[in-house]
Structure 1
């Protein structure tokens, strides 16, 4: 056994079987060939054996089009928008509180300066929300 050929464990075999399932779902081979490859994957002892099972498949393309991966990326994008919205709401609350405190202590409400950070933050928030809404449907 060479240095670059490593023994594999159940997790490696299961990862290979998952890739084979994706390849079957995407039409790279039929059910008979899938069964043969899965049996070979679970019988594999080394990383070289697993590489041979996947040798003729576009593994990176399979991973990119994995529905679980796509769903996870969409969920992460939505979570980042919620985090951005929470930060924006906190900023709005702070600038309004400062403006109100100054207005109450000085008695002057002539210039509503919080409009500028509120509008600027809204532009940034919309720049984040619109692409996420467009591509994460």
Structure 2
């Protein structure tokens, strides 16, 4: 950070408020603390004033990994920050439900000609297969 006596710009004040936002989101600040600090950040004139407001908050590089990422970010962790195992589980659950509905309608009507569940789960399966293959090509271990 530049010298504390130098004047801060609007972008510096916005960056400080962003850190305060994250502190509130992480549960490091109460709502009252956040409101007070954010108001002071908007009126801060120097880097030193901004530094005081965020001194007790971890810098973005120091922040621990989010719990969801730490727990689920294993070898099945796929593209766009999503968990491939959860994506496949969602697909399988949906497939079971729509096939069950279709089977009930087949039993009720006796008409097997139109297997409509393929239009629900088919394109989704193609997208998941492509995503899984993409994760393997990127070299994510265990995918």
The structure with the greater share of residues assigned to helix is 1
* TM-score tier after normalising by the smaller chain length: 0.3 to 0.5
TM-score, length basis structure 1 = 0.46
Structure with max Cα Rg: 1
TM-score, length basis structure 2 = 0.44
